[in-house]
Amino acid sequence: MIRLLIALVAALVVLGTSGGEAHRISTRSGPPPEGISIPSLTHGQMAVISENLSAIRALASSRIGFDMTTWRLEDYLNLQSFACFWGIVPGSIRDEGSPFNECAHAYLAAGRALLLQLREARGADHKAVDALIRKIEVEMLANGASLTLCRYSDEPFNTNEVIFPRWSEVPSHPPTAAFAALVLVAIGGAAWGAWPRRSVRQQREGTGA
């Protein structure tokens, strides 16, 4: 429930800043410094990277020392996954028609780029990194992941550019619209359940009970 509340707040903030239409928003004002280009990945690769994303994060967090490129990729991964609601919206990863699919492409591409960068990063457990890379490669081959393309597969990303969901397409995508309605109902129910207790407490304070 807490995560859903945070996601809703994030959506409202994004709607207010993007006008509900723009899906690519720079994270900086003024001329930005050159960011790190992140190659995209195929639609099939997304699912494999998603299943191994927690392991990639663990390897990144356990490294010793500081590497600017690794840090920027990790920071972008965290920011972009937040902007995409951590992929919890149904269809974000597997449904090309989802309003959340492009932003899911971005953070999963960042996850893959981070893993590859860890092979060169100082202080990283390179044996563990190589083992995870081999595991992912085997899973991709087994699932034919490299052959499944979609409209975002050839679209590069950049650490200076955060991609948000395509809000204007939410009403026309039934799974996403249903999820949004469910979140609103859950929040409304939670607020309704808390309201009477607040009213009673205020009455008691007013009477000195």
- Report the domain count for the chain: 1
Question: How confident is residue 175, by pLDDT bands cut at 50, 70 and 90?
Answer: confident
Least-confidence region, from 36-50, 113-127, 128-142, 144-158: 144-158
Burial of 143 (0-12, 13-18, 19+ CB in 10 A): middle
Neighbours of 174 (CB within 10 A): 11
* Domain residue limits at 138: 23-168
Confidence grade of residue 116 (pLDDT, cut at 50, 70, 90): very high
Interval 92-103 mean pLDDT:
91
Domain for residue 109, yes or no? Answer: yes
For residue 14, name the pLDDT band (cuts at 50, 70, 90): very low
Is residue 202 domain-resident?
A: no
Q: Per the domain annotation, does 5 fall within a domain?
A: no
The answer to whether residue 200 scores a pLDDT higher than 80 is: no
Is 75 inside any structural domain?
A: yes
Asked whether residue 10 is domain-assigned, the answer is no
Instruction: Summarize pLDDT for 140-154 with one digit per residue, the tens.
Output: 888 877 666 666 767
Q: Is residue 13 part of a domain?
A: no
In-domain check, residue 81: yes
Predicted local confidence at residue 204, as pLDDT: 57
In a domain, residue 115? The reply is: yes
